[in-house]
Structure 1
Amino acid sequence: MAIRGGAPRRTYTWITAHAPWSAWAWRNTAFTAAAIPAALPVLLGLTAAVMAPGPGMLPPLLILLFGPLLTRLQRSRFRTLLDLDVPEVEREGARFTPLAVARRLRSEATWRQYGYHVLVSPLAALAGALVVLAWAFGVAAAGVYGWFWILPADTRTPGWTERYDAVTVGGILLLLAAPWLAALVARLDSVAAASLLGPNRARELERRVEDLAESRAGVLDAADLERRRIERDLHDGAQQRLVALAMNLGIARATLTDLPAEAKAVIDEAHREAKEAIEELNNLVRGLHPAVLEDRGLDAALSGIAARAPFPVELTVDIGQRPGATVEAVAYFVVSETLANVAKHARADGCRVHVVRAPARDGSARGGSARDGSARDGSVRGGSVRGGDLLRITVTDDGVGGADPARGTGLVGLRKRVGSVDGTIMIDSPLGGPTVINVELPCGL
């Protein structure tokens, strides 16, 4: 009979997939039953240790010695019968040297595995035995009428149907419950194996974060080196050619006095455009990676930015030992973009820039990348820093305030630059001003 309709068909499919004769039921039953032979060496060793405390200490020592073999056996059981891959714990260096064996015995991962073999594996074997018995008693009880008819006729007693009706119903219920008991045992065993036989998830995540931080630092350094290469190529190549062109045009304008007025006008226009191109290229090179930042450090580079600002800038730099090149570049661009935003949007009469290197405060956040959020009074927060010295940058202007990242005032770019080195940024810009930008960058990057 065909089953039609959405909900009835799904119900029929679910019942069929979870019936006692389904592949799901037999797979879980086979997995739980396989825990019995896998736990026999441990059970025998523990029994010997309890029955004979002196000589019986040898089996536990054998368990300790053959622990890796038991772990492989359990992983094979999970992979073959449950299609669950329990990853191995990565171990560095040689495997069978005395130092490696001693280090492995002290390892937290090793004792987690032994905890599984000594505690979880016997319990799983006991649960597997209960599942097998549930199936056996269920089959026997559900077929009690058949067993009774096999008996000789003279052994039958009156009223046997009244006694065996309840046994048959109990056997059927036991057959219906046995697959779910096996599934529960398999689920608990899988959770325990993932926690004890596999790598420590917290430590794996910590190691992964460290690897990602190192790879990101490498990418940042590579990008910074590429910017420096482009800056050198532009400075030594295209910029020098433009300077030579402007000089030749200037010489031509000064010496060729007998040319027609139209030709002189063309030379004058070409000379002017060449000088403008040189100026634009200078700004571009300075924006990529200013040479003064690499040669003389952050103090001199920021002094140049302050001198070119269209309003008075009070600059204070006290950093002592220079931070990493990547952090210096981020600090330079943060100050540069901040002053550019002040000039475009703040309508400020003046600005103060304070840069200092100081130890990280107690309770500073560690690890992770920049996170953005909003604080009170229009302030914007983002980022988390690692321990060690911090490069603190404070930019204050007396403008109109009201800086809002949603209006495209450059704050999004600032947060991305700061977040690229695990820095923090807090922007407090209430309406009416003043605007205060506080940035903290880890010097050790």
Structure 2
Amino acid sequence: MDISATQAIPWRGLPLAALRALWAGPTWRSLMHLVTGAAVGSLGGIAILTLVAVGLAGLVTVVLPFAAGVGILVLSAGLTVVQRSRHAAFLNAAWPEGLYAQPVTFAPRALLATVRNPKTWRHFAYHCTAGVYGFVAAFLALTAWAAGAAMITAPLLAIGSGVGLRHWIMGVVGIGVLLAAPWVTRGLAALDALMARQLLGTSRAEALELRVTDLAASRNSTVDAADAERRRIERDLHDGAQQRLTSLAMNLGIARATLPDLPEAGTRALEQAHEEAKQVLTELRDLVRGLHPAVLEDRGLDAALSAVAARSPVPVRLRVDMDRRAARDVEAVAYFVVSEALTNAARHSGAQTAAVDVTCRGDRLHLRITDDGRGGADPHGGTGLRGLADRVRSVDGDFHLTSPLGGPTTIEAELPCAS
């Protein structure tokens, strides 16, 4: 294949592309963007300069500079809305925060925070720049269109009196200017869009902050949905299957007591069925408590942990010092941390005693679970410690494990305590 021919292929479409650009949608949207930008930028720039002049003229007072400053903030916020809307309408610009600026609040602290926010000054810088650039860009674009259209008619105007060479040259130049006008228009609009993205958009740090906020909200909704689903399953099991199993166990116990004359095989089968029904009922009660204990919902963390300590095979010293209840999801996480830690102490550490301290101070809920077992607890050893850490992190808490060989093992967790 001839390389020169291959390189020449893209150039063949340039004349047609240049002609299409004259009536292409992006060209005329860019032109409308520049024209509206000249109007909005000029009016906004005049208004800002007026407010600045009023503020400077009233420096001897306090009211006028303050009023002018607040007026500039309000005007800048309004211009941000208009400019973002204009860029979205004509240039299909996408704004991470939507088309609307944050409203200006007139409380002193809110005004001070607005003034200190770098975003406020970036927006103000764009509006000041747009007051000049908008007018200049629209003038250049309209001049290119008008000059090209006027020059291209030069040979026609000279027909009748004889067309000179300079008229033909002017006509040819006019064609070139007219063909270049769409690209000049688009280029000026693209430059305006670039400035808007840098000054009216969000910085990388702000975009990351917004992303983190969205992810936190999504995580919270997921945690809330999972917690609600656990409570629903607990209610269904408690009101349905657990009640039926209780009734079945009672009926089997009554049958054992009232049917003493059954054959030996029947008696053994009845006894086995009764014992298995009681075992299943016990396992179901443990499962229900593991999903979401009713006592935690009704009476709070103190009562729920007291029940856990009472059921623990290892003697537990429990101290709960809370002046208020924490959020429902936080209480659930605290309950499961203590319950799983005591289960691990009974099953894996060989502990003789354990201690649980729960305190709520300020906005933090502190958990400390200690046992005198053999230590060496490993989060990767399949004892559920990694799951505990994940539960704690799901509510923005901190999880720490200390378990040297020979013991003792200490689990500490800090959770948000806001109710």
Normalised to the residue count of structure 1, the TM-score between the two structures is 0.62
Q: Give 1:365's aligned residue.
A: none
Q: Give a deviation string over 1:26-78, Cα, whole Å, max 9, x none.
A: 65455334422333434555788899999xx9xx9999998888666545532
Q: Give a deviation string over 1:245-273, Cα, whole Å, max 9, x none.
A: 232133135xx2x3332222222222322
Per the TM alignment, residue 403 of structure 1 is displaced from its structure 2 partner at its CA by: 0.8
Q: Give 2:258's aligned residue.
A: 252
Question: Is 1:403 matched up with 2:378?
Answer: yes
Give the 3-state SS of the residue equivalent to 1:399 in structure 2.
Answer: coil
Partners of 2:251 and 2:47 in 1: CA distance: 91
Alignment size in residue pairs: 386
Give the 3-state SS of the residue equivalent to 1:124 in structure 2.
Answer: helix
Partners of 1:409 and 1:71 in 2: CA distance: 55
Equivalent residues in 2 for 1:43-442, closer than 5 Å:
74-84=83-93, 87-89=98-100, 108=114, 115=124, 118-129=127-138, 131-132=140-141, 135=144, 178=184, 179-194=186-201, 215=221, 218-219=224-225, 222-223=228-229, 225-227=231-233, 229-230=235-236, 232-234=238-240, 237-253=243-259, 256=260, 258-293=261-296, 297-310=300-313, 312-324=314-326, 325-344=328-347, 346-350=348-352, 352-359=354-361, 388-401=363-376, 403-405=378-380, 407-429=381-403, 434-442=408-416
Contact map agreement 2:359 2:366 (CA 8 A) in 1: yes
Per the TM alignment, residue 313 of structure 1 is displaced from its structure 2 partner at its CA by: 4.1
Give the 3-state SS of the residue equivalent to 2:93 in structure 1.
Answer: coil
Contact map agreement 1:39 1:117 (CA 8 A) in 2: no
Q: Alpha carbons of 1:12 and 1:294: their partners in 2 closer, same or farther (altered >3 Å)?
A: same
Contact map agreement 1:428 1:437 (CA 8 A) in 2: yes
Partners of 2:361 and 2:86 in 1: CA distance: 53
Contact map agreement 2:364 2:414 (CA 8 A) in 1: no
Question: Is 1:443 matched up with 2:417?
Answer: yes
Q: Give 1:383's aligned residue.
A: none
Give the 3-state SS of the residue equivalent to 1:89 in structure 2.
Answer: coil
Per the TM alignment, residue 290 of structure 1 is displaced from its structure 2 partner at its CA by: 3.7
Q: Give a deviation string over 1:144-165, Cα, whole Å, max 9, x none.
A: x999x99x999999xxx9xx9x
Give the 3-state SS of the residue equivalent to 2:265 in structure 1.
Answer: helix
Q: Alpha carbons of 1:300 and 1:15: their partners in 2 closer, same or farther (altered >3 Å)?
A: farther
Q: Give a deviation string over 1:138-183, Cα, whole Å, max 9, x none.
A: 969x99x999x99x999999xxx9xx9xx99x989x8798454542
Give the 3-state SS of the residue equivalent to 1:323 in structure 2.
Answer: coil
Partners of 1:78 and 1:260 in 2: CA distance: 90
Q: Alpha carbons of 1:429 and 1:241: their partners in 2 closer, same or farther (altered >3 Å)?
A: same
Q: Alpha carbons of 1:308 and 1:82: their partners in 2 closer, same or farther (altered >3 Å)?
A: same
Contact map agreement 2:77 2:101 (CA 8 A) in 1: no
Q: Alpha carbons of 1:339 and 1:70: their partners in 2 closer, same or farther (altered >3 Å)?
A: closer
Contact map agreement 1:242 1:277 (CA 8 A) in 2: no
Q: Alpha carbons of 1:444 and 1:66: their partners in 2 closer, same or farther (altered >3 Å)?
A: closer
Partners of 1:343 and 1:137 in 2: CA distance: 89
RMSD: 5.7
Q: Alpha carbons of 1:122 and 1:348: their partners in 2 closer, same or farther (altered >3 Å)?
A: same
Letter in 1 for 2:384: G
Partners of 1:285 and 1:355 in 2: CA distance: 25
Contact map agreement 2:369 2:411 (CA 8 A) in 1: yes
Letter in 2 for 1:35: G
Contact map agreement 2:80 2:200 (CA 8 A) in 1: no
Partners of 1:304 and 1:7 in 2: CA distance: 82
Partners of 1:427 and 1:313 in 2: CA distance: 21
Question: Is 1:38 matched up with 2:47?
Answer: no
Partners of 1:322 and 1:227 in 2: CA distance: 27
Partners of 1:14 and 1:154 in 2: CA distance: 32
Q: Give a deviation string over 1:379-398, Cα, whole Å, max 9, x none.
A: xxxxxxxxx13232334453
Contact map agreement 2:126 2:200 (CA 8 A) in 1: no
Contact map agreement 1:402 1:432 (CA 8 A) in 2: no
Q: Alpha carbons of 1:215 and 1:13: their partners in 2 closer, same or farther (altered >3 Å)?
A: farther
Contact map agreement 1:32 1:186 (CA 8 A) in 2: no
Per the TM alignment, residue 82 of structure 1 is displaced from its structure 2 partner at its CA by: 0.8
Unpaired runs of at least 5, structure 1? 93-99, 361-387
Letter in 2 for 1:281: L
Partners of 1:307 and 1:131 in 2: CA distance: 84
Q: Alpha carbons of 1:280 and 1:33: their partners in 2 closer, same or farther (altered >3 Å)?
A: same
